[in-house]
Structure 1
Amino acid sequence: MTGHDHKPGQFRPGADAHPLNQATDAQGTDDTFGAGDTLGADTALKLTGGTAAVRELLLALSVGFSLPSPLPESLRDPNSLGHPNGLDSIIAAAKDSGLLLPDGTVVGTARYALLKGTPKARIRALQRELVDKTLREGLVLGELARDLARNGYQDPRVVAELERSADDALETDPGLAAELYAEALLAGGDEVAKAARHAQATAATGDLDSAGRMVDRLLAVPGAPDLRLGVDVAAAVWAQRGMLARSADTYNWLGPDRIDGSAPLAAVAMIGSGNPVDAEELLATAAPSGSPTLLAVAMSLTQQGLRETLAPAPELALPELIRASDMMNAAGTSIPLPETPAALAALCALHGGEPTVADTVLRAALTAGQGGDAARPRLFLLRAWSSMQQDNADDARLAINEAVKANHWALAPRDEFLLAALEVGLARRGSDVHELVLAWDRAREAMMHVSVDLYSLLSWGELMIAAARLRESRRVAHYLESAWDLLGRLGNPPLWSVPLHWAAVQAALLSEDPAGLAPHAAALVRASERSHLASVLAAGGKAWVSVLAGRFEASDVETAARGLAAVGMPWEGARLAGHAAAHADERRDMVKLLACARDLHPQGSAPSAGVSERQEDARTAVPAQPVMDNGGGPGAPDSSGLSAREREVGRLILEGKTYREIGEAIYISPRTAEHHVARMRRRLGAESRSELLVRLRMALGEGYPPP
């Protein structure tokens, strides 16, 4: 390489290795001449060999000229510079001095000295001459435009080159586009002219704060250019902040007369914030989009599919949204969106009991880069939710790790809230009370930064259950009121409302609140006529009530448990079967239900062991109250304070059996036997094993003589 190759479109992100750029950087970091040293022309001339012609050549190359392309006019007459033998002799002298490298670049110290010691007016004149000559020869400024802008040269021709290249890169490489727009401003560009595009590129990289400030300034300018795009960016930023209603307000401010091709995006924001009427009116009055491009088709399918989710029988919704995601993947563009088609398709699948479908859609979107860098964390987090729902905690945590490192910006508040709900869900399913309390504390902080919308209902459902378990329901009560109100404004669509009703049923069971359970159980029964998932969940809720009441048929419970697993809830099914096994009167029923639980949840023993999700733990620091595990029905403690299962375990302990032998005797895991023993010690007030044995003999009566 003998100099810069200024080819069209040859832009690259990050710092550039152009000589002028390096020299300018060196002014802040190079200590060759000592701090604060001001180099004059004499010093520079001495450093460059004492020849004016050599100095002029090296200065031109330091500014951005290159060999063998045309050089400044000052070098066209070597005689005037004391080199009658021509330009070749000047180049040879520069190389002999060791200041010009074989690749045509100038040694760093010499470059620094020349640029530091040359008057700025002279440098700017050379830069202008360089631009003139490049364009006169029909060449594109290319990378040279970036070098000149970063070094403070202002020229409308440089601005035009940078903005043109930024526009070209905007939808395919928003990170590069953001750098180019910023450099165009350094070169003297108009901040307003490209503000919307600059904000779009910046938001796509995940820098919500900077993008928000740009569109704020733009929307305050009367007759602002690219206003609709600016509104799209503002709406996307509000959505990522977890304030989807503000996104809808932004589109309402824009109005139907100016909405044009953004109508589908507005519909996503309006429906998601509970305003379907506004969405329908806007779609009816908006002008049709332009040519049927992949992107236009993707947006059209998105709004169609989303509207189908509100129907009483939303069978068509998921296929429409999957096709929308496919078209967005094929388009390969990155535009500002309140929610990506892939995320909407995944949410639809998760709400419909098809987590494997959600995972497939999300994998394809991540591979295609749908939504750009800003969308990657959310897509990974939804994949984590799909894995958690399928009882695969390891895959869920891997997806969470990918989400956190997806880009160098912190997670947006919407995604931070989703992550917090995921951590709560994983801790709850792992029966780790300590981790659950820690995750709950983080979730309490995260929920204060977002508002309720349609696309966050899964998270609110999970937090509702955790709050009931930890007796913290008051913390989420007003958020849940907003959720029910939102669903009411949408007509209580089964697709979106059924999972939240199921969460409310579980929360009521944990809170021992029959009155609170009844309306949600009734809602599931009503929705069963139109929703297969609702019918499965209604059966599951009925089975739970029968188990807790002590009046259940093992076959009915197993059917309900396997039904839950079939709609993507194996952990919930295993927990139901395991809990029923702990309260079964007949050993054959217990064995059957335990086998079912282990079949549905093979990787752990907690749900299948019949241990209550609300098992007491000192770290919860809550008042002692009856819990579902042994509070009521045939499993309730008798006068001894022990449940039937605990008395059975106690007898085996008194017979000298180990935890493993107890497990083999009554078909529970050793860990579950240990849980029972620990609970008996608390109930009987035993401080040691020997004291436990004494108290057990007293509690169980005759037949167990002292050792």
Structure 2
Amino acid sequence: MASFQPRPQDAAELLDSRLNHTGMNHSEPRPHAAEATALQLKGEIAAVRELLLALSVGFVLPGPLPADLERRIDAGEVESLDVLIGKAEQAGLLTDGTVVGPARNALLTAAPTSKVHALQRELVSSYAADGQPMGDFARELARGGLADQRVAAELEHTADKSLEHDPALACSLYEEALLAGADETGTAARRAQAAAANGDLDSATRIIDTLLVSVDPPDVRRGVDVAAAVWAHRGMLARSADAYGWLGASRLGSSAPLAAVAMVGCGNRAGADALFRADAPPESPTLLAAALAGTGKGILESLAEDPQQALPILIHASDMLNAAGSALPLPETPAALAALLALHSGEPYLAETVCRAAAAAGQGGNAAKPRLFLLQAWSAMQQDKLEDARLSINEASKANHWPLVPRDEFLRAALEVGLARRNGEIAELVLAWERAREAMLHISVDLYSLLPWGELVITAARLRETRRIAHYFDEANQLLERLGSPPLWAVPFHWAAVQAALLSENPAALAPHATALARAAKNNHLAAVLAGAGKAWVSILAGAFQPADVEAAARGLGRMGMPWEGARLAGHAAARAGERKDMVRLLSCARDLHPQGNATGNGSSETGEPRAAATAETGNGMHPDGSGLSEREKEVARLVLEGKTYREIGEAIYISPRTAEHHIARMRRRLGAENRSDLLARLRLALAAENPPQE
């Protein structure tokens, strides 16, 4: 049907003028619009109208025409086809076998709908007789209101071919198939799959809910796969596991690995083992089947005491799914699982590359892209590449034209908290924490969200808000216990709990998690590094540490892809060092691990800026400006005006309390301040001179 809709009056006037020009007009007054067009082509030129109408419907020249028109031409009842074509061309209504746009629209508007549909069905029969696909013409017919099972079947078939590779196109094709009369229930599971893969979870949910409450729903396994994926995206993985439990082992088939992923994620290891054997071969030799089987095997391997094989298996599964080009909606993509295992193993750079490759290949469709970008952001944040992390967060926000799903919104909120904590801006941290508190209300704790929960546990302790997260913290511990406390998944969460206990100065809360790290250290290298770091922290806070041990622990954290954590550890030790040589040694270590910091405005006791600290100790980089203060002194001045003590200033910018005191004394002499209140006033004036108010 026509995509261009001119005014009927324009079309009537065009036909009227063209027919006047060829002498085929009559003297009756011209009625309104489409009716006038029909009248102009009656009588002796009715055959021209029939020819033009057939061509407007979709018949082509040269080629078969409507049977009735061909019969009349063959019987000599009307003029020959060449004569009819000539008259239409002479009137300017036909060009190169195509009816001009306004005339086409007027003819289709004037003709009875039953007549148009009859011609369309005859044309569809012609395509069927020749065995030719209708292509876009089928879409045009469906959108024009033709209900024909042959059109519906072709649209449905085309949608099926697009389903795994172009879900957005499949969505449109399935909707058009429904317009042409396709079975709504029969296509429901596939329509839901297309909507979910395209990121439209609400539409997928409405379709799948209608399907699964029907008696003996068709394509039920696919429907449950979609339901499980939607529940997982909503941050309710236990519901995904329930969906597979409802389906039952006898009907799982190739979905068994996905059921295992969902059940392990919510702590049901026994259920996963019962539904999926890690040594079971894929149901078919396709890339997709092999990728899904590898995903299930990899996630079960990750629960082992020695999970060394889990990460390679999941990376292989991700590679296969990338090669298959499938946009199948999944509870978790193999790329996301591989990235999580890499992050939990202290290899964030590997997580970043896996996610980047999967996002480029479209793994999991539009719905999976934001999560892949957010995991890239987490990898960058862990490696202390904060600007890269923010760029990846921005990519996640615009990767899909739908809003972020609750699971991804929670991950983004936790990322914002982590970035604010590392930037040391307390006001920014408080705002990010409030947003995260809201996000956590919309999801449940699962195995694949332990990293963001760990970040929030630390921040809650930092802000004295532990009560707000205690329930979720207990749920996470219970989940790990149900799975047998698998080291790969448990170690980073225990480390987060250790840091939270240190911030809260709560030895009772520290003990079980420190013990768990020490126990896991026998077979887990990351656990050994984190246990050493935890021991170093305790010794620093007790004021009885060995600088060499602290440096070794800090550099160990750096080697495990946690340079900010290592720099923070060394910086705190430097601020408490009794000997200048120890302080310089530890500051140098912090600078090596965290070289890109700038100390401007940093008032956090959790962060440090080793580059600025190094210049403070060596005396380099101090070029007074008009205010009479060096860049380092301005940094100290800002912290003084915030009411920080010598120790807090030292912790904030990685200098010793004694050095902070020397800076303040030197500024007092330079500015001629007589007492502390006078110094504060002069510092405000000096900083105001540096940053005058904007007009």
Q: TM-score range by the shorter chain?
A: 0.7 to 0.9
Shifted more, 425-434 versus 645-654: the winner is: 645-654
Cα deviation, 1:469-497, whole Å, max 9, x if unaligned, reads 22222222211111111111111111111
Cα deviation, 1:226-274, whole Å, max 9, x if unaligned, reads 1111111110111011110000000000111111211110000000011
- The residue that corresponds to 1:307 in the other structure is 300
Distance verdict in 2 for CA 1:690–1:178, change over 3 Å: closer
Report whether the alignment pairs 1:100 with 2:94: yes
TM-score by length of 1: 0.82
Checking the alignment, whether the CA contact within 8 Å between 1:583 and 1:645 is kept in structure 2 is no
Cα distance in structure 1, aligned partners of 2:394 and 2:523: 38
- Residue 536 of structure 1 and its aligned partner are, at CA, apart by 0.7
* Aligned mate of 2:571, from 571, 574, 578: 578
Secondary structure in 1 matching 2:133:
coil
Give the counterpart letter for 1:22 in structure 2. S
- The residue that corresponds to 2:479 in the other structure is 486
Report whether the alignment pairs 1:62 with 2:43: no
- The residue that corresponds to 1:388 in the other structure is 381
Report whether the alignment pairs 1:90 with 2:104: no
Report whether the alignment pairs 1:201 with 2:206: no
* Aligned mate of 1:397, from 390, 399, 419: 390
- Residue 290 of structure 1 and its aligned partner are, at CA, apart by 2.5
Cα distance in structure 2, aligned partners of 1:38 and 1:249: 64
Distance verdict in 2 for CA 1:610–1:573, change over 3 Å: farther
Cα deviation, 1:156-175, whole Å, max 9, x if unaligned, reads 11111111121222222222
Report whether the alignment pairs 1:372 with 2:365: yes
Report whether the alignment pairs 1:411 with 2:425: no
Matches within 5 A, 1:255-334: 255-283=248-276, 289-334=282-327
Distance verdict in 2 for CA 1:21–1:195, change over 3 Å: farther
- The residue that corresponds to 1:670 in the other structure is none
- The residue that corresponds to 1:152 in the other structure is 145
Cα distance in structure 2, aligned partners of 1:691 and 1:398: 35
- Residue 508 of structure 1 and its aligned partner are, at CA, apart by 2.0
Cα distance in structure 2, aligned partners of 1:237 and 1:315: 31
Matches within 5 A, 1:139-288: 139-283=132-276
Checking the alignment, whether the CA contact within 8 Å between 2:424 and 2:604 is kept in structure 1 is no
Cα distance in structure 2, aligned partners of 1:48 and 1:486: 80
Cα deviation, 1:566-600, whole Å, max 9, x if unaligned, reads 00101111111122222222222222211211111
- Residue 131 of structure 1 and its aligned partner are, at CA, apart by 0.8
Cα distance in structure 2, aligned partners of 1:451 and 1:625: 40
Give the counterpart letter for 1:648 in structure 2. H
Checking the alignment, whether the CA contact within 8 Å between 2:156 and 2:174 is kept in structure 1 is yes
* Aligned mate of 1:75, from 57, 69, 75: 69
- Residue 656 of structure 1 and its aligned partner are, at CA, apart by 2.0
Give the counterpart letter for 2:349 in structure 1. T
- Residue 128 of structure 1 and its aligned partner are, at CA, apart by 0.9
- The residue that corresponds to 1:356 in the other structure is 349
- The residue that corresponds to 1:13 in the other structure is none
Cα distance in structure 2, aligned partners of 1:614 and 1:604: 10
Give the counterpart letter for 1:472 in structure 2. E
Distance verdict in 2 for CA 1:434–1:625, change over 3 Å: closer
Distance verdict in 2 for CA 1:168–1:583, change over 3 Å: same
- Residue 652 of structure 1 and its aligned partner are, at CA, apart by 2.4
Report whether the alignment pairs 1:22 with 2:16: no
Report whether the alignment pairs 1:137 with 2:137: no
Cα deviation, 1:1-20, whole Å, max 9, x if unaligned, reads xxxxxxxxxxxxxxxxxxx1
- Residue 447 of structure 1 and its aligned partner are, at CA, apart by 1.2
Checking the alignment, whether the CA contact within 8 Å between 1:579 and 1:611 is kept in structure 2 is no
- Residue 528 of structure 1 and its aligned partner are, at CA, apart by 1.0
Checking the alignment, whether the CA contact within 8 Å between 2:11 and 2:105 is kept in structure 1 is no
Distance verdict in 2 for CA 1:688–1:49, change over 3 Å: farther
- Residue 82 of structure 1 and its aligned partner are, at CA, apart by 10
TM-score by length of 2: 0.84
Checking the alignment, whether the CA contact within 8 Å between 1:149 and 1:184 is kept in structure 2 is yes
> How many positions carry a matched residue from both structures?
631
Task: Tell me how large the CA RMSD over aligned residues is.
Answer: 3.4
* Aligned mate of 2:662, from 643, 648, 661: 648
Checking the alignment, whether the CA contact within 8 Å between 2:329 and 2:365 is kept in structure 1 is no
- Residue 292 of structure 1 and its aligned partner are, at CA, apart by 2.6
Distance verdict in 2 for CA 1:370–1:284, change over 3 Å: closer
- The residue that corresponds to 2:437 in the other structure is 444
For structure 2, the 5+ residue unaligned runs are: 13-30, 609-641, 687-695
Cα distance in structure 1, aligned partners of 2:229 and 2:53: 48
Distance verdict in 2 for CA 1:88–1:273, change over 3 Å: same
Cα distance in structure 1, aligned partners of 2:643 and 2:42: 88
Cα deviation, 1:122-164, whole Å, max 9, x if unaligned, reads 1111111111122122322222211111111011111111111
Cα distance in structure 2, aligned partners of 1:597 and 1:340: 37
* Aligned mate of 1:53, from 47, 52, 55: 47
Cα distance in structure 1, aligned partners of 2:339 and 2:379: 9
Cα deviation, 1:503-552, whole Å, max 9, x if unaligned, reads 11222222232332222222211211121111111111121222222222
Secondary structure in 2 matching 1:374:
coil
For structure 1, the 5+ residue unaligned runs are: 1-19, 616-623, 636-641, 659-676, 694-707
Matches within 5 A, 1:613-624: 613=606
Cα distance in structure 1, aligned partners of 2:8 and 2:305: 70
Secondary structure in 2 matching 1:491:
coil
- Residue 192 of structure 1 and its aligned partner are, at CA, apart by 0.8
- The residue that corresponds to 1:14 in the other structure is none
Checking the alignment, whether the CA contact within 8 Å between 1:582 and 1:645 is kept in structure 2 is no
Cα distance in structure 2, aligned partners of 1:315 and 1:374: 30
Distance verdict in 2 for CA 1:598–1:89, change over 3 Å: farther
- The residue that corresponds to 1:667 in the other structure is none
Matches within 5 A, 1:686-697: 688-689=681-682
Distance verdict in 2 for CA 1:105–1:466, change over 3 Å: farther
Secondary structure in 1 matching 2:84:
helix
- Residue 431 of structure 1 and its aligned partner are, at CA, apart by 1.6
Distance verdict in 2 for CA 1:348–1:487, change over 3 Å: same
* Aligned mate of 1:338, from 325, 328, 331: 331
- The residue that corresponds to 2:618 in the other structure is none
- Residue 625 of structure 1 and its aligned partner are, at CA, apart by 13
Cα deviation, 1:445-469, whole Å, max 9, x if unaligned, reads 2111111110011111111122222
Give the counterpart letter for 1:71 in structure 2. L
Cα distance in structure 1, aligned partners of 2:8 and 2:474: 62
Cα distance in structure 2, aligned partners of 1:357 and 1:227: 37
Q: Percent identity?
A: 60
Cα distance in structure 1, aligned partners of 2:180 and 2:346: 54
Checking the alignment, whether the CA contact within 8 Å between 1:53 and 1:78 is kept in structure 2 is no
Distance verdict in 2 for CA 1:312–1:690, change over 3 Å: closer
Cα distance in structure 2, aligned partners of 1:629 and 1:654: 18
- Residue 80 of structure 1 and its aligned partner are, at CA, apart by 10
Checking the alignment, whether the CA contact within 8 Å between 1:75 and 1:87 is kept in structure 2 is no
Cα distance in structure 2, aligned partners of 1:687 and 1:50: 103
Cα distance in structure 1, aligned partners of 2:278 and 2:158: 35
Cα distance in structure 2, aligned partners of 1:588 and 1:290: 65
Cα distance in structure 2, aligned partners of 1:285 and 1:593: 47
Checking the alignment, whether the CA contact within 8 Å between 1:578 and 1:607 is kept in structure 2 is no
Give the counterpart letter for 1:176 in structure 2. L
Checking the alignment, whether the CA contact within 8 Å between 2:8 and 2:34 is kept in structure 1 is no
Secondary structure in 2 matching 1:338:
coil
